[in-house]
Amino acid sequence: MVVSMLTAVLSATFVACAPPAGAADAGPAHGLVGSFCDPARVTADRGAGVAVVVFGARWDLMFPARGAADPRYRTAVGDALRTCAAGGLRVVVDAGVQYVPAWARRLSGAALRDQYGDPPATGQLDVVFSANVRTAVAEYLRELVADVPPGTVEAVRVGTSTSGEIGLPGGIDGGRGHTDSWWAFGSAPQSGSGLAAGQLRSPLPGWVPGQPRWSGRSVTPADAYTWFRWYERSVAQAQMWLAWTVRQSGFNGAIHLPVPGRGVLPATLAAAVGTLLAGAPGRDDAFSRGQDYTDQMPLFGGALPGAVIDLTSVDDATAVRARAAVPPQDDCTFADANAVTDPATPVEQWSNLRYARAWVARAGLGVVGENPGPPGPNTGGVAGSDPEPEQLRRAPAYARSCALAALLFAFEDDLYSGTSGITADDYRTAW
């Protein structure tokens, strides 16, 4: 029923962040992540060739107390969006649900729980299963959309994780240092008490992945598969709920769904269910995060017509490894959407971007992308990533190879900091 409701609400109203008709050879739109829409920066960005920016809103700043939106912050958001739009920039608003007010953490059922009863070390709120959390998030999104000046914003991006992307915490994020955590062991997903509308409780209440017995019988690989499908589809449903809520709040532009990495590979899933998911989080953190794009992209394509997937892995560390393969496996090709389903295709050698892009193409969804940025606690960069100047050199080519409608380069500040190794002039000439 939730899927049919989403389809009815969204089918005629999504607008993709894509080049205009007839501009197929223009390449990706030039974008930046992390804009504050400061007047001087807007002028400088336009001079560097920037066409679209991501502006970050924050739930905690909008609602430092529940039910009392901060008027100064609301005014500042509206002024910033008008500034960017008046300067000729297309604007994507990151809704900022990941910035959680202190009062929201005190809501009943607010915290995710792993099989040890612990909340995640990341502090991620339970937008996936908790009805109370969703009620609070919906209140915020309605106010945020109401504050968007008409004609200033073309897209809103939403995600369930602490980075604003799709997913639960990783297996390594256990509150007491556990590395095998699964995040569906609160009362809502296990008993149904306080469960968000549209979600289902666990098909094997009390069962923990890896346990050989449940409810007096042996657990089969089919049971483990059913459990994992429930787990990752719960994440997908939450992501769709966020999109639906933004739309029902009155926003008629595009909805961006940020998607990290490549998700669980089918061959990896087949091996994992054979061991009843024992050790799966350590095998591929996409398991515990509930990221299975082979299943989720078709769901999004069916329930969210015209949605835009934001692939956040353009020139990440896997691209570095993939281009070192013989032959290189980093560039997208027109054949990928068919080849990705062939068991003989060496998809494990592909970059994250190439693999996820193939599933987005199969689902018929719009697509943009962004690079990870430099290594750091608030970026997707890791030690094996290209340095940021090299990302600026390579990411536009990957965006063209993978036919992305826009490349949202991370981050605006890095063009002007004087310490990143890149400048606005570097950005202008990189394309």
Residue-wise pLDDT tens digits, 379-427: 777 778 999 999 999 999 999 999 999 999 999 999 999 999 999 999 9
pLDDT at 303 over 80: yes
Chain segment 18-33, per-residue pLDDT in tens: 333 333 457 999 999 9
pLDDT at 265 over 90: yes
pLDDT at 205: 98
pLDDT of residue 225 exceeding 70: yes
- Is residue 259 scored above 90 in pLDDT? yes
The stretch 273-280 carries a mean pLDDT of 96
Contact partners, residue 196, CB within 8 Å, separation at least 6: 128, 129, 130, 131, 133, 134, 188, 238, 241
Q: What is the mean pLDDT of the chain?
A: 93
Residue 102 pLDDT > 90: yes
pLDDT mean over 196-215: 98
Task: Pick the closest to residue 387 from 355, 351, 419, 362 (CA basis).
Answer: 419
**CATH (residue range 2-429):** 3.20.20.80
pTM for this one?
0.93
CA distance 312 to 307: 16
Model confidence at 351, pLDDT cuts 50, 70, 90, reads very high
What value does the mean pLDDT take over residues 355-363? 98
The mean pLDDT value for 48-68 works out to 97
Mean pLDDT of 336-362: 97
Token pair 């590979």 in the structure block, residue? 265
Q: Which single residue is written with the structure tokens 């502090």?
A: 123
User: Which DSSP state fits 24?
Assistant: G
Task: Find tokens 């994507």 and name the residue.
Answer: 92
pLDDT at 105 over 70: yes
Q: Residue 17 above 80 pLDDT?
A: no
- Is residue 360 within 8 A of residue 368, CB to CB? The reply is no
Give the DSSP H or E segment for 29. Answer: strand 29-35
Q: Enumerate the domain spans of the chain.
A: 2-429
Q: Considering only residues 177 and 247, tell me which one the structure prediction assigns the higher pLDDT.
A: 247
